[in-house]
Amino acid sequence: MELVGERWSLMIVRELMFGPRRFSDIRSALPGISANVLTQRLETLEAHGVVERTRLPPPASVQVYGLTPWGYEADEMIMALGRWAARSPDHDPSLPLSNTSLMMSFRTMFDPGKAAGDGGRFGFRLGEETFVVTVADGRLTAARAPAESVDVVFVGAPEPIAGFVYENVPLEALGDALELEGDAARALAFQSWFKLPPKATKPQPPE
């Protein structure tokens, strides 16, 4: 907690789990954080050896922030916190999500038993970013990659996709908020492989 316990720090680490990102990309993924606070948190994480700055090769030639090899080891910790937080009696899966949050949620809430004997590659086009989720041999991996050579592509914002996966909202009820490119039956199979943990009991105030 002394290393990453300041507000926003772990969320910044989460946003870097799928590769280096520009300062502006990190800030846009975290509504509410100011440029000054983001600068301070990145400097602190860099000083602790969690984050490193690099420069992309030409023609981009822009500075990006990425996790160090040790920084990537926070992956299991973030997923454990995600499972714990999802049990909150006040957890609302319809709240805003970043693209990275959605991908991390798939890795966290995937149930290998439900996908036994099945698998595939699933694309996600989330605004300007694309990801590919691969399910094989009871494991789920996610990567920022072109949504190509996949069974189906989900096109939309993270929130309607989360509603489809975690709340079983019917596709027809989502309308234009979620579009599918490819085999809709594979999208329904994907939907069936996830389960939110049961809610914790909220203490009742004394009478």
pLDDT, tens digit (0-9, with 9 covering 90-100), for 110-168: 999 999 989 999 999 999 999 999 999 999 999 999 999 999 999 999 999 999 999 99
- State phi, psi for 119 to the nearest 5 degrees: 170, -165
Structure tokens at 34: 């100011």
106 within 8 A of 194, measured Cβ to Cβ: yes
DSSP designation for 38: H
For residue 147, tell me if it sits in a domain: yes
Give the pLDDT band (50/70/90) at residue 204.
confident
Q: Which of 53, 77, 101 is the last residue of a domain?
A: 77
The residue range of the domain holding 164 is: 93-191
For residue 151, tell me if it sits in a domain: yes
- The CATH number of the domain holding residue 28 is 1.10.10.10
The answer on 186 and 101 residing in a single domain is yes
Q: Across residues 22-36, what is the average pLDDT?
A: 95
pLDDT at 205 > cutoff 90: no
More confident residue, 57 or 159: 159
Q: What pLDDT shows up at residue 92? A: 79
Listing DSSP states for 101-112 in one string gives HHHHHHHHHB-T
Q: What pLDDT shows up at residue 49? A: 96
According to DSSP, the β-strands at 152-156 and 120-126 are: parallel
Average pLDDT value over all residues in the chain:
94
The answer on 185 and 97 residing in a single domain is yes
For residue 59, tell me if it sits in a domain: yes
For residue 71, tell me if it sits in a domain: yes
Classify residue 54 as exposed, middle or buried by CB count within 10 Å of its CB (0-12, 13-18, 19+).
Answer: exposed
For residue 199, tell me if it sits in a domain: no
The answer on 153 and 68 residing in a single domain is no
For residue 127, tell me if it sits in a domain: yes
Q: Across residues 77-100, what is the average pLDDT?
A: 90
Exposure pattern of 117-156 as b/e (b: 16+ CB <10 Å)?
eebbbbbbbbeebbbbbebeeeebebebbebeebbbbbbb
What pTM did the predictor assign? 0.92
Give the pLDDT band (50/70/90) at residue 3.
confident
pLDDT, tens digit (0-9, with 9 covering 90-100), for 165-187: 999 999 999 999 999 999 999 99
Q: How far apart are CA 152 and CA 96, in angstroms?
A: 24
Q: What pLDDT shows up at residue 91? A: 83
**Cα-atom radius of gyration of the chain, to the nearest Å?**
18
pLDDT at 196 > cutoff 80: yes
For residue 205, tell me if it sits in a domain: no
Exposure pattern of 11-20 as b/e (b: 16+ CB <10 Å)?
bbbbbbbbeb
Number of H helices, E strands in the chain: 9, 7
